[in-house]
A and B are shown apart, each in its own frame.
Chain A
């Protein structure tokens, strides 16, 4: 399917590496995700204390999105966000369930509870970058470029957004995988399902 829109930037976080537009910007073979993403945060020179309060899915998404959004001027831009994954917020759901499973030690954590929805990670991006735009979070068995393409094209063609940040952000247990890309009028890569698939697999 043809499109008049283009992919202007993309990021990956997987296999101990973080890359922007195919170039590795951070690498750390630390096995533990928490240590890995904390090192990544510091390596990017970020100053955003709320990062440490986020759950793992939000941290993963936040870093992947920030790489792209800080490279563009997004002031007064209408940037929509469409994300997807397989595990939803299951990793945090389990942690929350553990905190309420013992009736004799029943102290549910409010700060864990607030992350028991997958789309909270979109909210974290919107708060940091002051985005007041359209957003959606979809759950699929696998990365679904076709669905993302349709949603993105609709938002851009109907002018509900000038740009769309979209992709896949999955976290479960110790497994993580993030691939985000920015679609807009300008860019070097065509916004086609074939190109999205190739970019997803490229790192």
Chain B
């Protein structure tokens, strides 16, 4: 899957799995921060994203420091997944 499509897929999954009912795919900028001022995600959302990585992409994230970098933005997350799944 091209990285651009992967980014769109991730946005859809994040909206659905994190119950971001007031967001649509077009509301999420590729480079906007997912946590803090961006989508305003919290620590439970971070855990949910870790489960999503494992369940949907077979990637197990065990290092919390790595998670902080991987979940920086949609662009970073998509690149991280693409590198590990050859999508």
What residues of chain A have their CB less than 8 Å away from a CB belonging to chain B? 38, 49, 52-53, 107-111, 114
Q: How many A-B residue pairs have CB under 8 A?
A: 29
Closest to B45 in A: A111
For B45, the chain A residues whose CB sits under 8 A away are 111
B29-37, B47-55, B63-71: which lies at the interface: B47-55
With contacts A49-B40, A114-B44 taken as known, whether A108 is within 8 angstroms of B21 at the C-beta atoms is no
With contacts A107-B54, A107-B55 taken as known, whether A49 is within 8 angstroms of B44 at the C-beta atoms is no
Closest to A41 in B: B21
* Residues B51 and A110 in contact, CB atoms below 8 Å apart: yes
Q: Is B19 an interface residue (CB 8 A)?
A: yes
For B20, the chain A residues whose CB sits under 8 A away are 49, 52
Given A49-B20, A49-B40, A110-B47, 7 other A-B contacts at CB below 8 A? A49-B21, A52-B19, A52-B21, A107-B54, A110-B51, A111-B44, A111-B48
Q: Is B61 an interface residue (CB 8 A)?
A: no
